[in-house]
Each structure stands twice: as C-alpha cells, then as structure tokens.
C-alpha cells in the first residue's frame, strides 16, 4: 500500500511544492482552528497550504477536556449566542464522524448547600436544550435522589439531593484535528508539520507578499507565496502579530487548564459527571477506556508557551475537588497516572477574571492583510472556519469569485472514508473489530473500543497490517501496525507524534509507552532512516514528555527556560 500525500515520506516533495507554487490561502498553525479553515477553504475550491511549527494539535488542541459540548456554564455569563451555536454544532460534528464524536450523557448532581438549586438547574438545562434544539430522548431529565445515586453510586448519599441528566459528546481532540487535516489533504490542500513561520515579506504597500518558513527537520528556509494569510496560532497569535509589527489593539489573555488522569479503578465513576466545587467553578470527571480524567483548572498564565506543565497547586486543587465530591475515593498525588496542561487563547477584556472571559472566537485583520483568529472552542471549529473564510473572501474583488467560493460543504462532509454513519453502525463495527482482535489473541474490549473510536473503519488496514508482524504478542503486532499506519498515512515525524497525538497513549495508556517504546523506536528509525544522533534526540524528547505528564512542579516554567 502506497503512502498518502499526508505522510512524512512525501515531506520533501510537499515542501518543494510549498516553495514553488502560489496559493490562494496560506494558514499558519495546525490546531483545530487552522485544520477547520483548511478543510472548508479547500472544499470550496481555494488552493490552500498550511504549516505547523511542531506537530499538528500539539498546542491547545490536544489539551482540552475533549468534549464537543454546548458549554452549559456559559449560560451563567449569558453568552446565549455561543451556547446556541456550539449546542447545535454538537450534533453536526457527531454526524461527520460518529465513531470519534460519541454521545455521552452528563450528570449534574445537586448537592445540599451547593451552588445550584433544583429549580435553577431544571430551568438552566431546559434553556440549554432549547437553544441547542435537542430532541427526543436526548432532552434533559431531572432525577430524584434515588435515581441520581443509581446513576452514580460514588456520589455521597448524605449530601446528594437529586440531579440533572443531559446530552453531550466526547471526542479525542488531537484525532479530530488530524482527521480534518487528512481530509483537507485528500481534497488537494498542501499541509506539513515541523515547518515554522519565521517572518513575513512585504510589498511596496506594506502588504504581506510572502512568508518565510523554516523546515525544522533540515533547518532550511523556504518562502511561501499566497493571496491571503491566516494566523490560526492559538496561544501564539500575539507572537505572530508581533512578527507582523501589527498595531492591533486586541491581545490575548491566556489561562491555563489542567487535567489529571486516574486508573478507572481508583475513580470508578459509572458515567460522566459535571460537578461544582466550593469556589463556585465546575469540574468534569469523565470515564474513558481504562481511566477516568478530571478537569479543569482556569488560572491566568504568563509562563513559557512551548512548555506548559502541571504544578503542585494545580494538582492539589483538582484532588481536593474530587475528594470533596466523591467522599470514599481519597485520592492523592501518587494516584495520578498522567496529566496534561493547556492554554486557552482567550481575548483580553479589562477587569475580567479568567473564568469570566468569553470563550467566543474573534477575527482581527491587520493593516498588512494578516487575518488572525483566536478564542473559540474545539466544538465551533466549522463555524470559525466560516467566519475566517468570510474575511478571506472580502479580499476578492469580483462578485463572480465571491460566488464561486461562497458555499461551504463541511456540514455534510464525512471526515473519514469509508465512513460510519450512525451509532448503530459504530456499535456493529466495534463488535466486528472485537472478533478480529480475538482471532489475534487480543481479547480485552478496551482495544476494540480504542481502535474503533480512534480510527473508525481505517482500523481494518491496521488490523490487516498487524498480521504481517510476527511477535507472539498480538498487542505488540498491533502497535507496530499502528506505527506503520501513522508513518504512511498520518505524517508522524517524531516518536512523540505517535505516542501523544496519534494514539493518545501518553495520557490514556502511559504504561504501554514504557512497554513498547524500544520496538517502536527501532521500527520508526528504520522507516525514516534516523541516525544515532536523531534517535538520541527523539528519546530525550519522549523522556521529557513522560516526565511532564507525571511530575507536579513547584511553579510554571518561565518564558526564557530552555526546551528541546
Ligand atoms: C483546559 C482546556 C479545556 C478545553 N476544553 C474544551 C472542550 O472540552 N471542548 C471545546 O470545544 N473546547 C475546549 N477548549 C478550547 C479548545 O481546546 C481551543 O479553543 C482550541 O483547541 C484552540 O485551537 P487553536 O487551533 O486555535 O490553537 P492550538 O491548538 O494551540 O493551535 C495553534 C497551533 O499553531 C502553531 N503555531 C504557533 N506559532 C506558529 C508559527 N510561527 N508557525 C507555524 N505554526 C505555529 C502551534 O504549534 C499550534 O499547534 C479547551 C481549552 C482548554 C485550554
């Protein structure tokens, strides 16, 4: 099977293409925002390229709560249009990739003396359903004490007085980003990771004429020419604006959010829970595969953008929230398996605290023509792309051109082909994988769920490939097949790309990294012809990622600290 265009094996030819051709749109940043814009623009017929300085989804788009949700708590700040938009987007994104965006009932327990009473909760959830046009069985249900405890026996019998059950969706943010980028590539976009935008070049009217990009594999610089330039650089938007000498008045207000991961047995919640903590904030506890994760914090951040870590204070805050809600678990810092910390690239508003800042996205167009997009949510990626393209199309002078590119088709375009089209099909396919895996000696349900929800029907290729490896361990053959797949079809250029963004193992199956890293490093070095120097560097990067996912630092790293 030949590697796709979205493969590191085509890196040189893709970079040559970037340097040789002129594009309608050059996008800087390969998180969910850049990915969404790339897909929409390419599907409309624009000639698009995208560069990402690290790996795709290595910024905020791999550090979210991993929910495609309406943002119930934004109702409290009366952000009605945001709730309405993300509420209705949930069902659309679910239909585009039902294996990857799966329905998830959320329980909101009501606690004696808690922030929200029965009436407020019932009303809030009703408005939420109304705004998102939720239908049928998915509409919220109010539960009495017994029903709530039946749904979640881990809640405290002494203090629970009832609950609200409502519909949300769970996803994997990095995989969603990667699938969108893959889809954009199949439609014709030229997309590459490990290429950093380093500076802009201007014409005589001070408009951006081209950008310089550094290939971080070879250290060589090349130039990209396009009609329009979009910065979808999340927390780095201000840095890119600075490189453009922009005088824009808007600036970012970064807040940090941390999640902690526990083995499921340590925090065995039967279902996803959204609970309030004594300081008035809300925290999620979400079971997923073999773990339960908990988050998030929301604190102002002034540290290093390229190395965001979890501090002891972050961990303590979340541990105390969980122990306070689930009285019997008594979790300590030693019980945490893994963690992640990410930055919300919010738009600054005077006199507003981290939690009060709007999650709305905004676009600003600089005098140079640079279009910057920040704020927003994973959930709203399609609508953000609409707005970015509205700004791009304003630069087209003729009505004919505007008309040509006006219509977006992303609302009905399946993200993965061959696609699964309903929950029933996903369930049947997972059962089919279960049978296939059991023939290979893998009998746990976790791996069939994992393959189905991460890859959809692409799992067939991985399972078939695994039969070509000849270890006695079916799991080792499977992970080697995954690596082969991700090198040939998912632009893996580093061990961390594989263990973190393509497979989520750093957060959700950290033991498997320790178990298989030697064979994975051996295989990837052979596929990509790495010398000892490169292998050592990659190992160092992996060790640093493992360290940060399991260490609770005294403080955040400052802006000047060294990273690899
Ligand atoms: C803790 C937390 C929880 C969240 N939970 C949810 C949730 O459950 N649901 C939801 O819908 N939303 C959630 N969000 C919001 C959502 O995750 C973000 O809005 C979204 O991921 C931002 O994506 P982005 O593409 O704008 O930024 P990023 O993902 O950060 O992408 C920007 C990219 O630009 C690249 N870049 C920067 N500079 C350059 C350069 N010079 N050249 C090339 N590339 C460059 C970076 O490497 C990076 O990959 C959460 C956010 C946080 C922090």
Ligand 1 atom nearest to 29, measured from its CA = 34
- pLDDT over 80 (residue 358): no
d(CA 146, CA 151): 9
What per-residue confidence (pLDDT) applies to 253? 93
Q: Distance of CA 173 to CAs 95, 193, 497, Å?
A: 16, 17, 14
Task: Enter the CATH code of domain 8-60+174-251+358-405.
Answer: 3.50.50.60
Same fold, 8-60+174-251+358-405 and 423-550: no
Residue 353: phi and psi, rounded to 5, are: -80, 170
Instruction: Write the pLDDT tens digit of every residue in 266-279.
Output: 999 999 999 999 88
Output the CA 375–ligand 1 centroid distance in Å. Answer: 9
For ligand 1, say whether the CB of 114 is within 6 Å of any of its atoms. Answer: no
Residue keyed to tokens 């585009």: 96
CB-based contacts of 242, cutoff 8 Å, min separation 6:
none
Q: Mean per-residue pLDDT for 198-223?
A: 97
- Please report the beta strands in 41-112, taking only residues with DSSP state E, as ranges in sequence order: 48-51, 67-68, 102-111
* Ligand 1 atom closest to 58 (CA): 49
Asked whether residue 561 carries a pLDDT value surpassing 70, the answer given is no
Residue 563 has pLDDT above 50, yes or no: no
Cβ(190) – ligand 1 distance below 6 Å: no
394 pLDDT more than 60? yes
Domain 423-550 has CATH 3.30.1950.10: no
Return the ligand 1 atom nearest residue 361 CA. 19
Neighbouring CB atoms inside 10 A of 158's CB total: 8
Residue 107 has pLDDT above 70, yes or no: yes
Which two tokens mark 123?
């009303």
Chain-centre distance for alpha carbon 349: 25
Helix or strand or coil: residue 114?
coil
Q: Is the CB of 58 under 6 A from ligand 1?
A: yes
pLDDT of residue 135: 83
pLDDT at position 399, please?
Answer: 84
Q: How far is the C-alpha of 66 from the C-alpha of 286, rounded, in Å? A: 10
Q: What is the 165 CA–ligand 1 centroid distance (Å)?
A: 29
Q: State yes or no: pLDDT of 344 exceeds 50.
A: yes
- The mean pLDDT of 65-87, rounded to a whole number, is 82
Q: Decide: 197 in ligand 1 pocket, CB within 6 A.
A: yes
- Is the confidence at residue 411, as pLDDT, over 70? yes
Are 538 and 521 a contacting pair, CB within 8 Å?
A: yes
Proportion of the chain in helix, strand, coil states, percent, rounded to 5? 45, 20, 35
Q: Is the predicted pLDDT of residue 57 greater than 70, yes or no?
A: yes
Ligand 1 atom nearest 86 alpha carbon: 11
pLDDT above 80 (res 492): yes
9-13: long-range contacts, CB 8 A cutoff, minimum separation 24 = 9/487, 9/488, 9/527, 11/192, 11/217, 11/493
Q: pLDDT-based confidence at 560, cuts 50/70/90? A: low
Nearest protein CA to atom 37 of ligand 1, as residue: 233
pLDDT at 249 over 60: yes
pLDDT of residue 564: 43
Query: Does residue 90's CB lie within 6 angstroms of at least one atom of ligand 1?
Result: no
The CB of 191 under 6 Å from ligand 1? The reply is no
- Where helices occur in 3-79 by DSSP H, the ranges are 11-20, 32-44
Q: Is 64 in the pocket of ligand 1 (CB under 6 A)?
A: yes
| Residue having the nearest C-alpha atom to atom 41 of ligand 1 | 197
- Residue 562 scores a pLDDT above 60: no
69-83, 187-201, 303-317, 493-507, range with the lowest pLDDT: 69-83
* pLDDT tens per residue across span 415-435: 999 999 999 999 999 999 999
169 near 93, Cβ under 8 Å?
Answer: yes
Helix (H, G, I), strand (E, B) or coil at 108: strand
The reported pLDDT for the residue numbered 121 is: 85
Euclidean distance between CA atoms 487 and 462, whole angstroms? 12
Ligand 1 center–CA 33 separation, angstroms: 7
Give the pLDDT of residue 161: 94
Average pLDDT over residues 326-351: 93
**pLDDT tier, 77 (very low <50, low <70, confident <90, very high otherwise):** confident
Cβ–ligand 1 distance for 59 under 6 Å, the answer: yes
Q: Using the atom order of ligand 1, give the atom closest to the CA of residue 297.
A: 1
Record: fold of 104-170+253-354: D-Amino Acid Oxidase; Chain A, domain 2 (3.30.9)
Q: Phi, psi at residue 285, to the nearest 5°?
A: -125, 120
495 burial type by CB count under 10 A (0-12 exposed, 13-18 middle, 19+ buried): buried
The pTM for the full model equals 0.97
Q: Is the CB of 234 under 6 A from ligand 1?
A: yes
The token pair that represents 178 in the structure block:
């990667």
If we measure between CA atoms, which residue out of 402, 404, 446, 456 comes closest to residue 425? 456
Q: Is the CB of 71 under 6 A from ligand 1?
A: no
Atom 2 of ligand 1, residue of closest alpha carbon: 64
Full DSSP string of 287-354: EETTEEEEE---EE--S-TT----BHHHHHHHHHHHHHHSTTT---GGGEEEEEEEEEEEEP-TT--G
**Domain boundaries, given as residue ranges, for the chain:** 8-60+174-251+358-405, 104-170+253-354, 423-550
- For residue 61, the SS3 value is helix
pLDDT, residue 342, reads 98
Mutate to test the pocket of ligand 1, among 39, 65, 375 (most ligand atoms within 8 A of CB): 65
């Amino acid at each position: 099977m030949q590697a796709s265009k979205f493969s590191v094996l085509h890196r040189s030819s893709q970079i040559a293409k970037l340097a040789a051709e002129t594009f309608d749109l050059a996008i800087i940043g390969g998180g969910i925002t850049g990915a969404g814009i790339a897909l929409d623009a390419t599907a409309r017929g624009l000639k698009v390229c995208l560069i990402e300085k690290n790996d795709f989804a290595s910024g905020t788009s791999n550090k979210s709560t991993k929910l495609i949700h309406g943002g119930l708590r934004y109702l409290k700040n009366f952000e009605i249009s945001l709730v309405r938009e993300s509420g209705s987007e949930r069902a659309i994104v679910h239909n585009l990739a039902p294996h990857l965006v799966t329905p998830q009932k959320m329980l909101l327990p009501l606690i004696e003396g808690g922030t929200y009473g029965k009436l407020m909760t019932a009303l809030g959830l009703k408005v939420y359903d109304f705004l998102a046009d939720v239908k049928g069985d998915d509409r919220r249900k109010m539960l009495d004490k017994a029903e709530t405890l039946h749904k979640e026996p881990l809640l405290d019998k002494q203090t629970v007085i009832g609950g609200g059950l409502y519909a949300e969706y769970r996803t994997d943010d990095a995989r969603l980003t990667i699938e969108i980028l893959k889809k954009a590539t199949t439609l014709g976009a030229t997309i590459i990771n490990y290429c950093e935008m380093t500076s802009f070049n201007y014409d005589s009217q001070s408009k951006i004429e081209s950008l310089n990009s550094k290939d971080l594999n070879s250290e060589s610089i090349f130039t990209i020419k396009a009609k329009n330039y979009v910065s979808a650089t999340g927390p780095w938007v201000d840095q890119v604006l600075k490189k453009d000498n922009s005088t824009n008045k808007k600036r970012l207000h970064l807040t940090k959010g941390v999640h902690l991961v526990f083995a499921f047995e340590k925090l065995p919640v039967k279902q996803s829970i959204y609970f309030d903590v004594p300081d008035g904030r809300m925290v999620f506890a979400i079971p997923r595969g073999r773990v339960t994760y908990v988050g998030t914090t929301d604190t102002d951040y002034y540290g290093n953008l390229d190395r965001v870590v979890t501090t002891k204070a972050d961990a303590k805050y979340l541990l105390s929230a969980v122990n306070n809600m689930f009285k019997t678990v008594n979790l300590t810092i030693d019980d945490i398996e893994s963690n992640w910390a990410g930055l919300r690239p919010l738009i600054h508003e005077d006199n507003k605290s981290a939690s009060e800042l709007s999650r709305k996205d905004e676009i600003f167009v600089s005098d140079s023509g640079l279009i910057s997009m920040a704020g927003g949510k994973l959930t709203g990626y399609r609508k953000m792309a609409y707005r970015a393209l509205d700004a791009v199309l304003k630069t087209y002078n003729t009505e004919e051109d505007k008309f040509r590119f006006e219509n977006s088709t992303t609302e009905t375009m399946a993200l993965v082909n061959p696609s699964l089209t309903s929950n029933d099909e996903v369930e049947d396919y997972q059962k089919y994988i279960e049978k296939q895996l059991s023939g290979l000696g893998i009998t746990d349900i976790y791996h069939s769920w994992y393959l189905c929800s991460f890859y959809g029907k692409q799992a067939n290729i991985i399972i078939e490939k695994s039969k070509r490896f000849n270890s006695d361990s079916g799991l080792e053959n499977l992970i080697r097949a995954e690596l082969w797949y991700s090198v040939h079809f998912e632009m893996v250029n580093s061990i961390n790309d594989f263990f973190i963004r393509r497979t989520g193992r750093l957060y959700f199956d950290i033991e498997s990294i320790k178990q298989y890293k030697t064979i994975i490093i051996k295989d990837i070095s052979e596929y990509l012809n790495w010398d000892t120097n490169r292998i050592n560097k990659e190992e160092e990067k992996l060790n640093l990622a493992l360290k940060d996912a399991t260490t609770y630092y005294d403080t955040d790293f400052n802006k000047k600290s060294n990273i690899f």
